[in-house]
Structure 1
Amino acid sequence: MKTIKFIFLFVFAASLQAQEDDNVYKKKVLDQTEVKLLTSYYSQDGDNASVSGGLGSEELTDIASAIVVSIPLNEDDVLTIDANVSAYTSASSSNIDPFDGNQPADPFVASSGASRQDVWTNANVSYTHSSDDRNFIWAGNVSFANEYDYSSIGFGGSLTKLFNEKNTEIGLKANVYLDQWSPQYPIELRNGIGKSSLAKDDSKDFNLDNYTIVGNQTYNTSFSNFETLNRNSYSLGFNVSQILSQRLQTVFLADVVYQEGLLSTPHQRIYFGDIEDSFIENFQLANDVERLPDTRTKIAIGNRSSFYINENFIIRSYYRYYTDDWGINSHTAKLEVPIKIGTNFTFYPMYRFYTQTKADDFYLYNEALSTSEFYTSDYDLAAYDAHQYGLGFKYYDPLGQFNLSYLRLKSIDFEFNAYERTNLNFTANIFSLGFNFTLDK
């Protein structure tokens, strides 16, 4: 009997000691600092440039790079810093001023002006805290972005709750973005506009009187620059994740976004079908710029599911329905099939289908009417179907056999995606490469 009591007391004392040890030596949310290095190359082409009113070259190339550093501050808290730089060259944006090159102005020919290229920079800092039992997580973030014609600051946060032995997860997130435009209006519309009304003005050497106008030689517009230059976006997201079985996991998603302010793009031209056209060389002069409502509400619901077939095959599916009060309704469906090859390699083909209706205020090139309140010839707001075909490879090295100084390689990802709009002459390709490292202590 004494022996049984001794064993009981020993086990009880060991249990108490284990609880104390858990409090002192509990497992970290993130064991080591992680560093991700990402780079991508994107190219596109098409015939419906919005800068030239829906007609012209959409040729664009973009090289982007990013570094993401996740730092464990203690057992419960992680600080993540995400910095991005993207440099692009665009035939379309170069034609904000199509008359600054050595060749005749033409919507299908890139001009050589400063607006043909630019750099976009972005930085995001987030802080994440997990409860002791890892069943409750909260996070906060701040961000900043800047480009030639706008700047943005953002902030937000999220809450995540896990229960049912971590088989069920509920998440809520909210973000606010406060943007400020520095508009670059089409060069011909700046004639006679005071420099003080333009955030960026390179029009001092441009004068319509120095050019021969063909067609409607009495070219005149009632154009006025935008009075409001801010754009605010507020988003709220909700998700529920459930492990339904050993083979099936599903996530239901819902997002609501409300925007207000200057939602038009100031350098996108509009041509009116009820006004005679005016040309300089091969370039049609704008009647106005895109005018869109100053509010927009977007709603999206979706599902992401993963079905485990065996240790070598997984099927991942995604579906989203989107609608907004500008008249656009869209459906997105994506299928991805990761195939594991050996212990270190995964190969994953993927396919994505997208379809949308046109916005209420979208007009084809030269079909908008001067009597309308709102109009755009941005073909991203047209009705179209799109297909995207992709192929990815992942090398995973759980033991970190390869290292670069203090960085120990964890994984390498490479992806290629080809995109096309079937009812619009638009194609794009993107190559992306990513390295994931852990930092040796």
Structure 2
Amino acid sequence: MKTKYIITLLILVGSFVNMFAQTEEETPYKKRVLENTEVDFLTSAYYQDGENAAAGGGIGSEKILDGTGAIVVAVPMNADDILKVDASVSAYTSASSSNINPFDSDRANPYVASSGASSNDVWVNLTTSYTHSSDDRNQITSGKFSVSNEFDYFSLGFGGSYSRLFNEKNTELSVHGSVYLDQWKLIYPVELRDSNSEREGYNPNNITGTGTYQPNFTSIDSKARNSYSVGFGFSQILSKKLQSSLALDLVQQNGLLSTPFHRIYFSDKNDFFVKDFQLADDIERLPSTRNKIAAGLRLNYYINEIFVLRSYYRYYTDSWGIKSNTASLEIPIKISPKFTIYTAYRYYNQTAVNYFAGYEQHLSTEEYYTSDYDLSKFHAHQYTLGMSYTDIFTEKHLWKFAIKSIDVKINKYNRDSSFKSYMITAGIKFILDEPLNIPFLNKKN
């Protein structure tokens, strides 16, 4: 599969090169923004677990195993412009989403993963961006377009940015914006679906409980979710050793902001079961608008040729009631000209949204409700250990690719609940120091 994506990317990149690249005679010499084509191969493995699954109304396994692969190709179109193409594929298995229909396996239990169709899926994404730098390199303009798809949504995104450097490039101001237009596929918990053909394994005649099962459920009208964001940045070199930056981001979302397959259980309703799985009283309901504000500060301090301190703080608030603080400290340790070790710690806390309550703690008279613990009050810790190899002279080669850098990182994350996760990421960057033997890439203009 990876080979097919690489070939597709090279064809796409080659087409753009053929369309837009300029000859040396057309442009006087100047230092190029990017000297040669760069290719990044990225991969990650992610594992999480917990006992507060949103698909189970706040209870059940949150186990997810995910593997992701990506290729990023950056091509110098001329001395000033860079085209970048990023293709990503992620395949995962999820105990939580598998219990959208827990009855298509032998045992229906919120803490046991179902083996049905919703237990695994593939997410794909393609992002392209184009960046132009002015002749004096003090102005940088870029635009991007992205498309992604998963089993329950499809997304289109586009945006752009502008940066201006002053004071002999010691000061930088930037602004960026983006728009994402998403469409949900309305997948409800199996017991709330109208069509019997969609109720594989679910038999209403096997319901146990006191009274008659009559959920509050009504279907959702809108499938759209739109997100609009604008951000501002300011960075300043304060001295030979100290650099700072400020960032402000504003986001507005509207449309379907809840997840259709997240169950809700009411405390004032009787409980009903099929096997060991409780049937939903309703699905998650959240307001159709959400405004977000985040402000961040970075300070990087060069101690000596071995140690650098990188610190970061961000404050976030939104119209749903969340307020959060993020603080992190990273210490790269340069053990040789080519090898660096990274150690980092990140602390995060947040308040709950106004509409959160746990399993069977909501009332049926409420207008909005969620039992998604990602929207609950919690604090979390993340620990990172990494290694980086960098060869600015690209002495080592694989075929026509010169190795520029290799990075590996391990992250451990845990909350003050049962939730925990682990992630390993790795990347290798190549420089293409001679053209590929592809006719239209080597075609003379």
TM-score, structure 2 as length reference: 0.90
- Asked whether 1:385 is paired with 2:379, we answer yes
1:80-159 to structure 2, matched below 5 A, reads 80-102=84-106, 104-159=107-162
Give the corresponding residue for 1:18: none
- Asked whether 1:160 is paired with 2:163, we answer yes
Secondary structure class of the residue paired with 2:28: helix
Instruction: State the Cα RMSD in Å.
Output: 1.2
- Asked whether 1:31 is paired with 2:35, we answer yes
Write the deviation string for residues 361-388 of structure 1: whole angstroms up to 9, x where unpaired.
Answer: 0011111110000000000000001000
CA distance in 2, matches of 1:361, 1:264: 11
Write the deviation string for residues 320-357 of structure 1: whole angstroms up to 9, x where unpaired.
Answer: 00000000000000100000011110001000000000
Runs of 4+, deviation exceeding 4 Å:
none
- Asked whether 1:203 is paired with 2:206, we answer no
TM superposition shift of 1:214: 2.2
Give the corresponding residue for 1:198: none
TM superposition shift of 1:202: 2.9
Q: Which of 422, 425, 428 in structure 2 is aligned with 1:429?
A: 422
CA distance in 2, matches of 1:126, 1:294: 30
Task: Number of aligned residue pairs: give it.
Answer: 409
CA distance in 2, matches of 1:41, 1:370: 40
CA contact (8 A) 2:310 2:331 kept: yes
Write the deviation string for residues 68-89 of structure 1: whole angstroms up to 9, x where unpaired.
Answer: 1000000000000011110000
1:168 is aligned with what amino acid?
Answer: T
What residue ranges of structure 1 are gaps of 5+ in the alignment? Answer: 1-20, 196-200
Give the corresponding residue for 1:48: 52
CA distance in 1, matches of 2:31, 2:271: 70
CA distance in 1, matches of 2:361, 2:210: 17
1:121 is aligned with what amino acid?
Answer: V
CA distance in 2, matches of 1:205, 1:43: 29
2:354 is aligned with what amino acid?
Answer: D
TM superposition shift of 1:205: 6.1
Give the corresponding residue for 2:182: 179
Secondary structure class of the residue paired with 1:51: helix
Write the deviation string for residues 31-54 of structure 1: whole angstroms up to 9, x where unpaired.
Answer: 000000000000000000000000
Q: Which of 413, 420, 424 in structure 2 is aligned with 1:419?
A: 413
CA distance in 2, matches of 1:267, 1:224: 13
Q: Which of 64, 73, 76 in structure 1 is aligned with 2:77?
A: 73
TM superposition shift of 1:174: 0.3
CA distance in 1, matches of 2:203, 2:230: 48
Q: Which of 57, 65, 74 in structure 2 is aligned with 1:61?
A: 65
Give the corresponding residue for 1:4: none
- Asked whether 1:397 is paired with 2:400, we answer no
Write the deviation string for residues 189-217 of structure 1: whole angstroms up to 9, x where unpaired.
Answer: 11xx258xxxxx732664312x1x22234
1:175 is aligned with what amino acid?
Answer: S
Structure exhibiting the larger radius of gyration computed from Cα positions? 1
Give the corresponding residue for 1:245: 239
CA distance in 2, matches of 1:36, 1:305: 28
Write the deviation string for residues 372-417 of structure 1: whole angstroms up to 9, x where unpaired.
Answer: 0000000000000100011010011112121111110000000001
Q: Which of 333, 356, 363 in structure 2 is aligned with 1:369?
A: 363
What residue ranges of structure 2 are gaps of 5+ in the alignment? Answer: 1-24, 435-445
CA distance in 1, matches of 2:131, 2:282: 47
1:219-298 to structure 2, matched below 5 A, reads 219-298=213-292
CA distance in 2, matches of 1:434, 1:305: 26
Secondary structure class of the residue paired with 1:93: helix
1:180 is aligned with what amino acid?
Answer: Q
The sequence identity of aligned pairs, in percent, is 55
CA distance in 2, matches of 1:421, 1:45: 11
Q: Which of 305, 319, 338 in structure 2 is aligned with 1:325?
A: 319
Deviates more, 1:395-404 or 1:108-117: 395-404
1:438 is aligned with what amino acid?
Answer: I
